[in-house]
Amino acid sequence: MIKTQRVAAATVGKVLAGASLTAVLQDYWRTHADLSGQQRGAIQDLSYGVLRFYGQLDALLALLLNKPLWDQNLRCLLLVGLYQLGYSKTSVHAVVDNAVSASLGLKGSKGAQGLVNAILRNFIRQRATLLERAAESEVGRYSHPQWWIDKLRTQYPQSYQAVLEASNQHPPMTLRVNRRKVCVSEYRKWLNQNGMNAQLLWNDALELACPVPVEKLPGFAEGLVSVQDAGAQLAAPLLDAQDGMRVLDACAAPGGKSAHLLELADVELTALDNDTTRIIRITQNFSRLDLRSHRVVQGNAVQPAGWWDGRQFDRILADVPCSASGVVCRHPDIKWLRRESDLSRFAAQQREILDALWQMLTRDGKLLYVTCSVFAEENKRQVEEFLRHHPDARLLPLSLVETIDGQLLPNSHHDGFFYALLHKA
Ligand SMILES: C[S@@+](CC[C@H](N)C(=O)[O-])C[C@H]1O[C@@H](n2cnc3c(N)ncnc32)[C@H](O)[C@@H]1O
């Protein structure tokens, strides 16, 4: 456990210095190929856990320290220890003893052992009082940055607390059944026979009672199912693509929504993305799912001259880059990496993509604008602005699911998404 704590602390430190959690962990896995699956799982659990509850853990640490701690390595190790004491089933003695030993190896942390021992033991002794005091500040209570909490409160006065709480939960594992190969009820029975319980959320979405490694899913390698959040599974059916249509997925990588589109209809699909690395995953996903009749293209949606043949599309999916504020239960680092000023930068990028794509949509065609954000700047306000500048655009009502003006807020069954279906008159 000493190594696990140390690596998790270093991972958290890198994220707090500005790196993405996924990137830091992938880099570590690449350079430490000898780690067992169990070790990886433990490092991942601790790093995700600390970042999920960083606001609270940071508030606790501030209460436990007499003066600020400048050594970031030591600080992160203490955060890991506090997280384990607060949220894991590991025995308190093992957590403290291992954290004390782990502090031995830290560069320049003279006297760290005594401090780690004292802080963690003080937490154990005064746990209830400390937890109460940490919750006095909103950051300590909700583990989100203050600007984020304030914005959600303004934009969703009735539901902001539920959104914050849902964003701190462990996300469920949800499957999308590939209708081309098997029907949902049959696959659900098959899961049951293999000892896995699942509930049907909507359409092709089955939520597993307990997450499992994908290799354990019956028929995964043969493309019977994919792992995809239930909220994300609304995109393809909302776009309403019919057999024979020309469809563009303009921001397609890694290809989850594109694949769903191809599972639902025999369309002529162009899957576009400007990221040379991510685009490889589209082809991999399509090939596992046995999906054909598509073009995977690397290019910029805003510069169609490089990849577009000039024939307009009947349907366009614009799953644009965004703050990802609706998916923080899967990516808790986002809460601490985003700045409020990022929102206007994302909004400008989204506006540019949307404007460019509108030119490529045929008359009477439909464009589905999607973000995995909960902020109105990227969603409702973006679409209102678009409608003001495009008299040939009309907002269509959404079927399938209840939203607040297209906003699907995150809850215990799905991530947060925004959907706007635009019709070209
Ligand atoms: C939200 S992700 C798409 C997720 C994907 N639709 C799925 O369901 O698997 C946004 C994608 O947009 C791509 N992107 C960003 N700017 C772009 C642009 N100007 N043109 C094309 N793709 C872009 C990013 O590389 C990223 O893969």
Which pLDDT value is given to residue 324?
98
Domains of the chain in sequence order: 2-139 (1.10.940.10), 174-227 (3.30.70.1170), 232-424 (3.40.50.150)
Residue 423: count other Cβ atoms within 10 Å of its Cβ: 15
Intra-chain end-to-end CA distance of the chain, in Å: 62
With CA atoms as reference, report the closest residue to 210 among 267, 171, 264. Answer: 171
CA of 239 to the centre of ligand 1 (A): 17
Rounded to whole angstroms, the Cα distance separating 329 from 169 reads: 6
Q: Is the CB of 356 under 6 A from ligand 1?
A: no
pLDDT in tens, 229-241: 999 999 999 999 9
Q: Using most ligand atoms within 8 A of CB, pick from 229, 248, 273, 319 the residue to mutate for ligand 1.
A: 273
Is there a catalytic annotation at residue 372?
Answer: yes
Q: Tokens representing 35?
A: 């780690």
Q: Is the CB of 317 under 6 A from ligand 1?
A: no
- In the predicted model, is pLDDT for residue 409 greater than 80? yes
Residue 241 in contact with residue 267, Cβ under 8 Å?
yes
User: What is the H or E stretch that residue 298 is in?
Assistant: strand 294-298
State mean pLDDT over 246-268: 97
Q: Is the CB of 144 under 6 A from ligand 1?
A: no
pLDDT in tens, 279-336: 999 999 999 998 876 899 999 999 999 999 999 999 999 999 999 999 999 999 999 9
State mean pLDDT over 197-205: 96
DSSP assignment letter at 219: T
CA of 408 to the centre of ligand 1 (A): 20
Residue nearest to atom 15 of ligand 1 (CA): 321
Q: Is the CB of 259 under 6 A from ligand 1?
A: no
Which pLDDT value is given to residue 293?
66
Q: Which residues pair with 205 in a beta bridge?
A: 176, 202
CA of 351 to the centre of ligand 1 (A): 14
Burial class (CB in 10 A: 0-12, 13-18, 19+), 61: buried
CA of 249 to the centre of ligand 1 (A): 9
Rounded to whole angstroms, the Cα distance separating 152 from 254 reads: 29
Q: Is the CB of 43 under 6 A from ligand 1?
A: no
At which residue do the structure tokens 């996903």 appear? 285
- The 3-state DSSP composition of the chain as helix, strand, coil percent (nearest 5) reads 50, 15, 35
Rounded to whole angstroms, the Cα distance separating 278 from 282 reads: 7
Which pLDDT value is given to residue 412?
96
Q: Is the CB of 165 under 6 A from ligand 1?
A: no
Q: Tokens representing 259?
A: 């694949």
- Residue 70: pLDDT band (50, 70, 90) is confident
Please compute Rg for the chain using Cα positions. Answer: 23
Residue 289 in contact with residue 338, Cβ under 8 Å?
no
